Each structure stands twice: as C-alpha cells, then as structure tokens.
Amino acid sequence: MAKVRIIPAKKIITNNRNNPHSTKRRVAGYARVSTDSDEQFTSYEAQIEYYTEFIKSRPDWEFIKVYTDEGVSGTSTNRREGFKQMINDALLGEIDLIVTKSVSRFARNTVDSLTTIRMLKEKNVECYFEKENIWTFDGKGELLITIMSSIAQEESRSISENTTWGKRKQAKDGKVSVPYSNFLGYDKGPDGNMVVNEEQAELVRLIYALFLQGKSPNGIAEILTEKNIPSPGRGKQWVSSCIKSILQNEKYIGDALLQKSFTVDFLTHRQKVNEGEVPQYYVEDHHEPIVSKEMFALVQTEMKRRDGMPGRRNRRRMLSGRILCAQCGSWFGEKKWHPNSKYQKVVWQCNGKYDKAHSQCTSGNLIEQDVQRMFVIAVNRLLKDSSSILETQKLVYDTVFDTAGLERERTALIADMSVTAELMERMSSGQPSSRSNGYTHTQEYQALQIRYEQAEKRKEELDNTIQDKVAKKALATSFFDNLKKQNSQVVRFDEDLWSGLVDHLKVHSPNDVRFIFRDGSEIKVDLSEEEKKRPPLTEKQMTEISGLRRDGMSYAKIGEKLNLPRGQVRSFCLSRTSKNEAAVQEDGEHVLCKTCGKELEHTPGFRKKIFCSDGCRQDWWNRYAKFKAGEGRATNKVTCQNCGETFVTYGTNRKYCSRKCYSEHRGQEGDSRD
C-alpha cells in the first residue's frame, strides 16, 4: 500500500522580496474626505492622526505611511492621487497591509472596490476595513465587501440625488452659485452675493471693447497673453474659448441663467449641456452689472454676424477680416512680396484669387497706406452730410429702435409660461388639475406641453428681435457719437475712428473700393480720380521731399509724414531724377546730383562727381539695379594704346583692345586672344 506523507504549508505573512521571512507586516493607512468644508477637514485630520497612532501601537506592524485624498469623491478613482499612489506602492511590494476606516472610505463604486482588492490579493496585499471588521484574506471577505460596496454605492446615489434636489431648489429660488476662483470680474461679498472686482471688471470691459473694435476672440487672446495678463484660471496663456465664454456670459449684465448643465451619472460625475432635459431659470437684475445690456446685445449680434461670414478669421491686424472681394466673395489676406529682403513689401490680396473656383477674380491688390488714404476721403465725404444724418437720428430712435410693444408682449408670454409650467409640474407630481375639461391626464399634459413650447418659441423670436434692435441702437449710437466728435475734416488716418465707423470694405477693383459704414451707408472711392483732383506740390513740399529722400526715407514714409500720396511722392522723385540726369554740361561735367538734385561742387584735379554723397550714390544704384546685373551698364569709349582703335569698355581701366595689342606693345611675342 502506498504511503502518503504530509508536507505542511509555509505561511508567508509578507510579500517583502528583500526579507520574505520577516515577522513584521508593513502597514499603510488610507484617509479620505469628499469635501473641503471645515467639518470634513476636522474629520480628515482626525483620521490621519488616528491611523498613525493605531498602526504604530501594534508591535507586529511596521508603519509605512498614511495616504490621503482631501475633497475628492470616492465614486471614482480618476482624481484620487493619494489612492492611486498607495495602490502603486502596494503592487511594487512596499506594503503588506492597508488599513482604512470603512469600505465607503476605500471606494463608493462596487466595481472599483472589487477590481482593486482582487488586484491586491494577487500581490499578496491584504486590506482591513475597521468599521465592518472585514479582512480581505478571509474567505467571506469578498462577499462582505461586495455587499458593503453596493450599500456605499447606493448611499452615494442617495447623496447625489439629495444634492441635485437642493441645487435645483436653489435655482428655482433664484440663488446664484459662482466659482469665484475661476470667474473674472466678481468676488464673493460678506453676505455671499456677487461683488464687482473693479480691477478685473476693467479687463472684462477691455475684452468687450476690443471685440467691438473688430478683434477676433483669438486675436484678443493673443493680445492679453502678450501683455502678461493672467487668465481667469491664473494661467499665463489665454485661449479663444475663454474669451468667447466671457463675451457670451449673461452674468456680466447683472443676470444669471441657472442650470446650464446637469450631472448625468453620479459615479462618473459626467456633465451634459442642458438642452431642455431639466428646467432652467433666468434671474434678472440679480447683481451689479459690469457691461451695459446694449453693449452685451451688440456683442451677441456681432458674433452671430461674424459666424455667418466664412473666411473671416483672426482679426488681429487693422485690416484683417475687413476687406471683402466683391467679385468672388472671399476675404482679403495679408501677403508679403520679396520676404526677408530689403525689398519686402506687404500687400492685401483676395484669398480666392488663385483658387480654381475663382480663377476669374481680378480684384487686384491693395496697399495699407492707400486704404488709409481712401478712408480719409470717404470719412470727409460722410462728414459733409453729417448734419442731415444727425437730424434723422431722433426719428430713427423713435421708430426703428422702439421695443416697448415687444417688451409688453414678452412680459405677457413669460407670465403665461410660468402658469403653464406650474400646471405641468402639478400634473407630473400626480396632483389633479383644477382646469380639467374632459381630457385624459395624458392628453391634458400634452396640450399644456404644446402650449408651453409655442409660447417658448414666440418668446425666443421676441428675444432675438429685441436683442437685434437694442444692438442696432447701440451700434447707431456709437456711430453718431463718433460723428459728433469729429467737428472738422479728417487730415490723417485715425485707427479709433476707423474702428468706430467702418464695418468693412468691398473691393470691385483697385479703382472701385466701397466703404460700408456701421450705419449701413456706402461710399465709393476711386483713388485714381482723387489723384487727379489733388493740387500740385508747393515749393516747400518739394524741398521737404528732396531732403527726406536724401536721408534715405522711402516714398511711403515720406507720404505718411507729409500727408501726401505715395504715388505723388514717387512721381516727383523720379521726374526730378530725370531732370538731374539731363543737367550735364557739354564737357561731361554734372551740375546737379543725379539723385537729389543738389548742386555739385567739383574739386580741381579730382574725378568729376555725379552724386553729392555716398547715400545718394547707393540710392541711385538701388533704383537702377539693372546696371549691376549687366543690362545697360555704364560704359566708356577708350582708345587702344597700341593700334589707336577706339573700343567700348565697362570702366576706364582697360588700355588695349585685345591681347595681341597688349603683347605687341609690351614687346612680347605670343598668341593673342580677344
């Protein structure tokens, strides 16, 4: 008969790889509270102190650490950094036992609890839940943990539902909650209400003003980032989505829309934008506004208008998104000619010019200085009719922008919607309707719902109409105010005036540019015709141009400085150069400088001068660069010192017409070559 010999099991009480037979278990504690309140903070500190002393009091345990998570929910492990660090250390073999207060402190998600505990058991790491007295290595441990985790999860569901009910009750009562740490413009006052932070409020007003001046959200974000202004989240980088959020937030006009979003799942805490699934509440005049309702309405209208204009991208520069091609409907963009060279030039060109779909576009190019000159011309024409425009202002305000009737209809609709919503709420809660007229419960509820939806649709139409009228009124007010401030003709380009008056330009051709002003008026400017109307240059202007040109200033800079068209400055300089080149005496001696026309002083015995200075010489050669390339070089006729024949050469250093003549004259024999 076979003999059976028993080999007793060796109980390993630690997973320490360096010392597998150690009698002490390495123990860590875990403490967590789900909120940052003072009461919870006391509990948080008490848990840490208790488990530190509890673990150290056991002679067979070695204290490792108390891992903590403060102000974090236990329904998910995503944001619990202390918990994740503890599990990672345990899996690396640094912990043998984890002690915590209860299953709910460990996790309120049944799946997370079981998954984590099974993963730890595979690495021979045990967990002890003091309140329930559960050891995970116990045979019944997993069953008890499953039951207790399910109870903890249901408790979380109950807490979430109670919290949601409380928040919705607060919203219904008009109580506004704001994340002040990440909200620009307001602080929490002593009574818990919103108080304006004047320093931040100025930044909010600046953002609104920049947008109305034509800047895009992305352009505003770049400006604020360059100025090193911290973002609402105290970061260094601004993004366009943050700017859009500020521009669309109704809290800056003193109102508040509550329940914009709601929690879909209490375990994942996933938020969803409220699209009618739960009631919303709009609280008017809740706190002190930062911007006026007129400005806010104007911004919303402008955002809708820009969204409907594809291709109108970043409006960082003055002309960005302001020049529209009348031929193909594309926007003009900034282009650089001869980049990274001294001949670099910036022009504005239709973005659809070389698109296959717009191959016939012939709108041409525009230079920024020319646009500025055309703007001055257009504004001066507008100012001639400003008196008649301002006379019609009051009539326009009293008729076109009147919203009194719309406001009354809107107020009546809101009252009717409130009554309908109250009836629907009663029916949904099971209370019988006092207005029952024979319909079944479902039919009556559906009738109320249709009534509410129709009223809501009409209210939305009224809101859009009122907002549009208010925005147009604010736009017209700004336009008229800018006109009133301009008491005299415009002499130079003013960017503030440009932003306040002009909406955009339509370019039919370089000689047919239409300025569309913010009041809807349109003025055509033909620059070539305007050039013909300009008076001739005075002696003073000609002298100033010559002097500035001698100093190396460009045509555009001279025109900007003297308030003259670039083309007129260029024409004068080129014509003056032609006259200077003709001013040469019969003996070949130049009388005037070829560049600036200054009278030359020749020194006897020295080479005759052509230019008065090195600057004029360099300027002339830059203008006539073809001579450097070999086309039309400056040539001279020279007589050969050997044969006496005349030949043409570049420069005056050659003395012989050929190699043969050179050899003969030197008394040397050899082959000659041309």
CATH code of the domain containing 118: 3.40.50.1390
DSSP secondary structure letter of residue 253: G
Residue 480 is assigned to a structural domain of this protein: yes
The residue ranking higher by pLDDT, 672 or 93, is 93
3-state secondary structure of 293: helix
Mean pLDDT, the chain, whole residue set: 75
Residue 170 is assigned to a structural domain of this protein: no
How many C-beta atoms lie closer than 10 Å to residue 167's C-beta? 16
User: Average of pLDDT values for 135-154?
Assistant: 72
User: Average of pLDDT values for 174-199?
Assistant: 83
- Based on C-alpha coordinates, what's the Rg of the chain? 42
The residue ranking higher by pLDDT, 69 or 576, is 69
Q: Over 60: is that where the pLDDT of 625 sits?
A: no
Identify the domain boundary among 478, 513, 533: 533
The residue ranking higher by pLDDT, 613 or 27, is 27
Give the tokens for residue 147.
């039951």
Residue 180 is assigned to a structural domain of this protein: no
Question: Is residue 76 located within the same domain as residue 154?
Answer: yes
Residue 188 is assigned to a structural domain of this protein: no
Report which of 110, 99, 154, 155 is spatially closest to residue 132, judged by C-alpha positions.
99
Q: Over 60: is that where the pLDDT of 314 sits?
A: no
Question: Is residue 583 located within the same domain as residue 560?
Answer: yes
Q: Count Cβ atoms within 10 A of the Cβ of residue 629 and give its class: 0-12 exposed, 13-18 middle, 19 or more buried.
A: exposed
Per-residue pLDDT band for 516 (boundaries 50, 70, 90) equals: confident
Alpha-carbon distance of 118 to 177, in angstroms, equals 42
Helix (H) or strand (E) holding 348, with range, is: strand 345-350
Strand pairing category for 126-129 and 61-70: unpaired
- Amino acid code (one letter) for 461: E
Tell me, what's the pLDDT at 669? 44
The predicted model scores a pTM of 0.51
Question: Is residue 155 located within the same domain as residue 267?
Answer: no
Per-residue pLDDT band for 495 (boundaries 50, 70, 90) equals: confident
Give the tokens for residue 241.
């989505």
Contact (Cβ atoms closer than 8 angstroms) between residue 20 and residue 11: no
Q: Over 80: is that where the pLDDT of 544 sits?
A: yes
Q: Over 60: is that where the pLDDT of 583 sits?
A: no
Strands lying side by side in the sheet with 502-509: 323-325, 502-509, 512-517, 522-525
Tell me, what's the pLDDT at 312? 53
Alpha-carbon distance of 167 to 261, in angstroms, equals 12
Residues 6+ away with beta carbon under 8 Å from 528? 511
User: Average of pLDDT values for 384-410?
Assistant: 68
Alpha-carbon distance of 394 to 513, in angstroms, equals 31
Residue 128 is assigned to a structural domain of this protein: yes
Question: Is residue 294 located within the same domain as residue 441?
Answer: no
Q: What is the CATH number of the domain that holds 255?
A: 3.90.1750.20
Give the tokens for residue 605.
């015995």
Give the tokens for residue 254.
């003193």
Q: Count Cβ atoms within 10 A of the Cβ of residue 383 and give its class: 0-12 exposed, 13-18 middle, 19 or more buried.
A: middle
Tell me, what's the pLDDT at 27? 93
Question: Is residue 36 located within the same domain as residue 147?
Answer: yes
Please provide residue 219's backbone torsions phi and psi, each rounded to the nearest 5 degrees: -65, -40
Domain count, the chain: 5
Question: Is residue 210 located within the same domain as residue 347?
Answer: yes
347 strand-pairing partners: 335
Tell me, what's the pLDDT at 13? 42
Helix (H) or strand (E) holding 512, with range, is: strand 512-517
User: Average of pLDDT values for 468-497?
Assistant: 70
Alpha-carbon distance of 298 to 213, in angstroms, equals 12
Question: Is residue 573 located within the same domain as residue 520?
Answer: no
Identify the domain boundary among 500, 533, 566: 533
Tell me, what's the pLDDT at 672? 42
Residue 171 is assigned to a structural domain of this protein: no
Tell me, what's the pLDDT at 577? 57
The residue ranking higher by pLDDT, 451 or 164, is 451
Question: Is residue 231 located within the same domain as residue 308?
Answer: yes
Tell me, what's the pLDDT at 37? 45
Matching residue, tokens 């600036």: 596
HSE-CB at 19 with a 13 A cutoff on CA atoms is 8
Tell me, what's the pLDDT at 26? 92
Per-residue pLDDT band for 21 (boundaries 50, 70, 90) equals: very low
Q: What percentage of the chain reaches a pLDDT higher than 90?
A: 3
Report which of 89, 90, 254 is spatially closest to residue 185, judged by C-alpha positions.
254
Per-residue pLDDT band for 96 (boundaries 50, 70, 90) equals: very high
Report which of 268, 272, 270 is spatially closest to residue 108, judged by C-alpha positions.
268
Strand pairing category for 323-325 and 502-509: parallel
Q: Count Cβ atoms within 10 A of the Cβ of residue 164 and give its class: 0-12 exposed, 13-18 middle, 19 or more buried.
A: middle
Question: Considering only 3-17, 60-74, 256-270, 485-499, which range has the smallest mean pLDDT?
Answer: 3-17
Question: Is residue 522 located within the same domain as residue 648?
Answer: no
* Interval 356-380: pLDDT, tens: 665 667 778 888 888 888 888 888 8
- Amino acid code (one letter) for 574: L
592 strand-pairing partners: 599
DSSP secondary structure letter of residue 251: G
* Interval 255-292: pLDDT, tens: 888 777 666 665 556 667 766 666 777 778 888 889 88
Question: Is residue 339 located within the same domain as residue 429?
Answer: no
* Interval 349-362: pLDDT, tens: 888 777 766 566 77
Question: Domain range holding 654?
Answer: 635-666
Residue 306 is assigned to a structural domain of this protein: yes
Question: Considering only 118-127, 172-181, 598-607, 619-628, which range has the smallest mean pLDDT?
Answer: 619-628
- Amino acid code (one letter) for 215: K
Residue 176 is assigned to a structural domain of this protein: no
Per-residue pLDDT band for 97 (boundaries 50, 70, 90) equals: very high
Tell me, what's the pLDDT at 629? 47
Report which of 577, 585, 576 is spatially closest to residue 620, judged by C-alpha positions.
577
Q: Over 90: is that where the pLDDT of 473 sits?
A: no
Alpha-carbon distance of 526 to 548, in angstroms, equals 28
Question: Is residue 559 located within the same domain as residue 604?
Answer: yes
The residue ranking higher by pLDDT, 367 or 140, is 367
Alpha-carbon distance of 559 to 576, in angstroms, equals 17
Contact (Cβ atoms closer than 8 angstroms) between residue 312 and residue 321: yes
Question: Is residue 567 located within the same domain as residue 659?
Answer: no
Tell me, what's the pLDDT at 362? 78
Q: What is the largest CA-CA distance in the chain?
A: 143
User: Measured in whole angstroms, how far is the alpha carbon of residue 40 from the centre of its chain?
Assistant: 40
- Size of the chain, expressed as the number of residues it contains: 674
